[in-house]
Amino acid sequence: MLTKRIIPCLDIKNGRTVKGVNFVNLRDAGDPVELAKQYAVKGADELVFLDISATLEGRKTMIDMVLQVAEQVNIPFTVGGGISSVEDVDVLLKSGADKVSINSSAVKRPELINELANKFGSQCVVVAIDAKQIDSEWKVHLAGGSIPTNLDLFEWAKEVEQRGAGEILFTSMNNDGTKNGFANEALAKLSETLNIPIIASGGAGTVQHFVDTFKEGKADAALAASVFHFGEIAIKDLKEELRDNNIEVRL
């Protein structure tokens, strides 16, 4: 059985880690390089860094940060935000990132997924999908959740897999920052539909929420931010609890 992964997520704005609720009301959560170093020591399986403003200035900051993180950590890390070309990815991977995450750029030009998978291998390509449940339908949103589309979450996820993505990072905008638990029903449906790993994101508030997303949501990995950044859940304690619930993790 594959071990389940615990992944702290660091949203980066102007070189700092920030955290909000439902994608707004951001507050400072610390220096990303320092946090990365701590998480690697404390037992995180991977890290995800998302440049949420992804301005030109932010892109330069991101490259510097990737170089610094690569020097400090010995676990895989994924970088996303503002990536729209093979060249962007080439620079990030050469700077030390293990994977890249694309979101809006993949929706705007789906061929980008094929190009990246063909050039760098599927294992490097994570497609992030931010979706919101409106009535009974899950609709994909772009640009940090600010632009709604008519794309259906499950149809888009299927296309993403077919185009060569190695993994999907699904964030439920309804659950993000609420600490009320992950969107396990949607996650389970994704898991049944797809053959690639799914990272659950949005809603972590308690250890039980992680247990539930692995058991009910059938997620392959769980990503969270504030509960880790602000010391509400220790990764070591979380993993021991998961193991006690017969969920295979790396201790």
Active site residues: 11, 130
- Evaluated on CA atoms 198, 51, 19, 26, the torsion sign reads negative
| Token pair recorded at residue 181 | 């638990």
Q: Are 158 and 194 in contact (CB under 8 A)?
A: yes
How far apart are alpha carbons 138 and 224 in whole angstroms? Answer: 21
CA distance 162 to 167: 11
For residue 102, give both structure tokens. Answer: 């694309």
Query: Is residue 105 left, alpha or beta, with left meaning phi > 0 and alpha meaning psi from -120 to 50?
Result: alpha
